[in-house]
Amino acid sequence: MGLLKIINGTLITPYRYIRAGTVVMQDGVILGVHERDVDVPDATTLNAGGQYVAPGFIDIHVHGGGGHDFMDGTEEAFLKIAELHARYGTTALVPTTLTAEKEDLLQTLDVYERANLKNSRGATFLGIHLEGPYFAQSQRGAQDPRYIRNPDPKEYEEILAYSPSIVRWSAAPELPGAIPFGRRLREKGILAAVAHTDAIYEDVLLAYENGYSLATHLYSAMSGVTRRNAFRYAGVIESAFLLDMDVEIIADGVHLPAPLLKLVYKIKGADRTALITDAMRAAGMPEGVSTLGSLKNGLTVIVEDGVAKLPDRTAFAGSVATTNQLVRNMVQMADVSLLDAVRMASTTPARIMGVDSRKGVLAPGKDADLVIFDENITIDTTIINGKIVYSKMTTNL
């Protein structure tokens, strides 16, 4: 945690590159970002070899990786997932649950708080994302239908009082009770997100006015234009485009093909779009049979073609993406500049989660969370809180 200096890197700032730049950090904080090498006595020097140096990637929606799921209910699962994603450039993440019984959610919150105290080798935890259980059955996707229900104040007030670690909660806004639920989340400073929903524009507008500010995995498990009694109605997708909502997208190239990645970027732009993995336990693992959710009562899935599928192959059942893959896809498939692709993986998610005062850009005073990668967005080094947690390069240490 002493002085560390990165030299000879192409630094990625929000609006420009700095060629042959230098970053100096100490005790987990960036001290300086320079256009040339600077003399820093007693600093350990890391030569980036001309590669890119960017703010660390922030994944605000992830379920697992490396053979583990946050719903497994063990500290080991939390820690191993954090370590796995750090290898691919993630320096901070939001552990995400699946729809479950209240007791399982409370247990996951307990485990999170214990694991958070021990997490020193992986991506930093930013708090828990409860994805469900307040969803539309018609848009449940791979969520277990046994646990889907409407918002119940008695239940969610107990959960909210149980733990201070909840930072976002996704729900379907058209459900009975969903609007006061959104208002309650806003009162608590918790991000309310629209998800797994068959809402129409009028529902989403009301939700937006009452605290819902993010569309969870845009296009996945949500309504588009629909017809009722011959009349057309805008769905959640169109509503997210029309309103000043933030959106997150699974940019794995499978959930959203190139034309949709381009469309989201064209309409919402880099400042309103966060890249997420939505990764399940098979991320970073070989293809084959896996489990979505906990090992105890999860859903058997098949991982092939770079995505998890239901056994009958009728629908996707989760992503196996890593954050560097998201950035690569936006550049190579969606023709987005590297500056904007990195912004969508760092600056924008930091702002959405309210941690932009300390994360998301290369600037003095920010947390020393950085990633070094090559032209193909292959991760070379991940630095979290000023500490090298992963490196494959031959360093000048």
Give the bridge partners for 232, in sequence order: 227
Give residue-wise pLDDT tens across range 124-177: 999 999 999 999 999 998 888 999 999 999 999 999 999 999 999 999 999 999
Co-location of 131 and 36 in the same domain: no
Q: Is residue 397 part of a domain?
A: no
Domain match, 8 and 90 both: no
Residue 35 clears pLDDT 60, i.e. is over it: yes
Nearest C-alpha neighbor of 301 from the set 290, 293, 312: 290
pLDDT of residue 205: 98
pLDDT tens for 6-23 read: 999 999 998 899 999 999
- Assigned domain for 190 exists: yes
Mean pLDDT over 308-313 rounds to 92
pLDDT in tens, 336-378: 999 999 999 999 999 999 999 999 999 999 999 999 999 999 9
Pairing of strands 231-233, 246-250: unpaired
pLDDT of residue 1 exceeding 80: no
Judge whether 284 lies within some domain: yes
- Identify the pLDDT of residue 390: 97
Give per-residue burial for 214-226: e unless 16+ CB within 10 Å, then b.
bbbbbbbbbbeee
Predicted confidence at residue 296, as pLDDT, reads: 84
Task: Specify the number of domains making up the chain.
Answer: 2
Segment holding 194, helix H or strand E: strand 191-194
* Closest C-alpha to 61, from 367, 345, 265: 345
- The yes-or-no verdict on residue 281 having pLDDT over 90 is yes
Tokens matching residue 328 = 């690569």
- 293 and 333 fall within a common domain: yes
* Structure confidence at residue 393 (pLDDT): 61
Q: Report whether pLDDT(396) > 50.
A: no
Q: What is the domain-level CATH number for residue 380?
A: 2.30.40.10
For residues 108 and 163, what is the distance between their CA atoms, to the nearest angstrom? 10
Give the alpha-carbon dihedral of 353, 336, 391, 279, to 10 degrees: 50
For strand 90-95 and strand 68-69, is the pairing parallel, antiparallel, or unpaired?
unpaired
Angstrom distance (rounded) from CA 327 to CA 335: 11
* Mean pLDDT along residues 256-285: 98
Residue 319 and residue 377 in one domain: no
Asked whether residue 261 falls in the same domain as residue 386, the answer is no
Instruction: Specify whether 41 is located in the same domain as 154.
Output: no
Q: Where in the sequence is the domain holding 25, given as residue range(s)?
A: 3-54+360-391
Residues 158 and 74 in one domain: yes
What's this model's pTM, rounded to 2 decimal places? 0.96
Do 94 and 15 share a structural domain? Answer: no
Verify that 79 and 139 share a domain, yes or no: yes
Report yes or no on 38 lying in a domain.
Answer: yes
The backbone region for 354, taken as left when phi is positive above 0, alpha when psi lies in -120 to 50, beta otherwise, is: left
